[in-house]
Amino acid sequence: MRPVVHVVGARPNFVKAAPVLAALRDLGVEQRLVHTGQHYDAAMSDVFFADLQLPAPEVSLGVGSGTHARQTAALMTGLEDAFADLDPALIVGYGDVNSTLAAALVTSKTGVPLAHVEAGLRSFDPTMPEEVNRRVVDALSDVLLATSPEALAHLADEGLPASRMHLVGNTMIDSLLLARERLDPAGALQRLGLDAALLETGYAVATLHRPANVDDPATAARLVRGLAEVAADVPVVFPLHPRGGRTLRAGGVEDVPGLTVTAPLGYGDFLSLVSAARLVVTDSGGLQEETTVLGVPCLTLRPNTERPITITSGTNRLVDVQTLAAAAREALAAPPRPPELPPLWDGRAGPRAAAVIARFLADHA
């Protein structure tokens, strides 16, 4: 049996892929995992494999960082060789990272079909590299696995055939719901050397890594000043993503009173922190979704989001550095809001995606 080959390269991919891998395994589908190494720090990669019980990669490319052009070119070269060796029946790509873009470009030239998990998300911001990746990957995909109803509408507006589209739900939420009963906020705080009393007094969690926020030193410094205003009202725990570490440190992030900078965290520890937080400040797409399910107020430092359902059905709100502090105070003062889960964010997205993939394989045997 020719295998289904999953391409992952960055920490959000691992969280999205784990439920699909598990569900296809239950269906008896032969599978292989290719890890491109787009995230190569152990705290951004290896620990996620352990936390999510992912199988060892069949191929590890170790591509590492670089400009978009250089990284994508290296990814395409490595993936072309890997696909030739593995002879896949189908490639599965996840999200909007360069690894998924490279996989789509390679499959389009070699004739191997492609399934895209998280298809149809749109920010309508062409300055975002991820937005370019999403549009190209969807245009080249044979199977479009969408997380939300508006994603299907975006795909239809772009002229993609309805026969390729499938609303399966959010596989990232499968991983979250599976891990939820094992979350340990007190243990996570203790492992970071922080006082467990923060569970009673309250704390916030911050993450920043988008190029528009962290690549420019002046912008990063303004964000640090904005976080300082938040930290004046509530202690902030800030796991520092490797991307942007240099500019944020130069902006003084490690010198802000009330703000604790930590190394990147594994999946369990990070979710444990977020689950008990009174507030999250982020530019992460996935964290907008996770806070929606956890019922934690989320302030997203971006002018737009490809996940508007986290605003209409969740706890997410878009802010900029000028409105951040006031929005944080408002969120901290508001009573807790019960989460309103979007359609099919029920922990069964992985099996639904696997069923679609299995039907596709049978139809194209």
Residue 81 sits in a domain of what CATH number? 3.40.50.2000
| Shared domain check, 149 and 206 | no
What are the C-alpha distances in Å from 12 to residues 18, 25, 118, 334?
A: 10, 21, 11, 30
The pTM of the whole model exceeds 0.85: yes
| Total domains in the fold of the chain | 2
| Shared domain check, 101 and 77 | yes
Q: Is the predicted pLDDT of residue 39 greater than 60, yes or no?
A: no
| Catalytic residue list contains 209 | yes
CA 166, distance to chain mean position in Å, is 20
196 within a domain of the structure (yes/no) = yes
CA atoms within 13 A on the CB side of 96: 21
* Residue located via tokens 């299995």: 358
Specify the pLDDT at position 67.
82
Over range 198-208, report the average pLDDT. Answer: 97
127: number of Cβ within 10 Å: 10
| Shared domain check, 147 and 55 | yes
Pick the catalytic residue: 6, 116, 209, 364?
209
Domain extent, residue 306, equals 183-333
Tens of pLDDT, residue by residue over 332-343, are 999 987 878 899
Is residue 231 within 8 A of residue 256, CB to CB? The reply is: yes
| Shared domain check, 146 and 282 | no
Ramachandran area for residue 354 (φ above 0: left; ψ -120 to 50: alpha; else beta): alpha
323 within a domain of the structure (yes/no) = yes
Over range 321-339, report the average pLDDT. Answer: 93
Distance CA 359, CA 365 (A): 10
How large a percentage of the chain has pLDDT more than 70? 98
Closest CA to 168 of 358, 344, 14: 344
| Shared domain check, 151 and 9 | yes
Is residue 342 within 8 A of residue 313, CB to CB? The reply is: yes
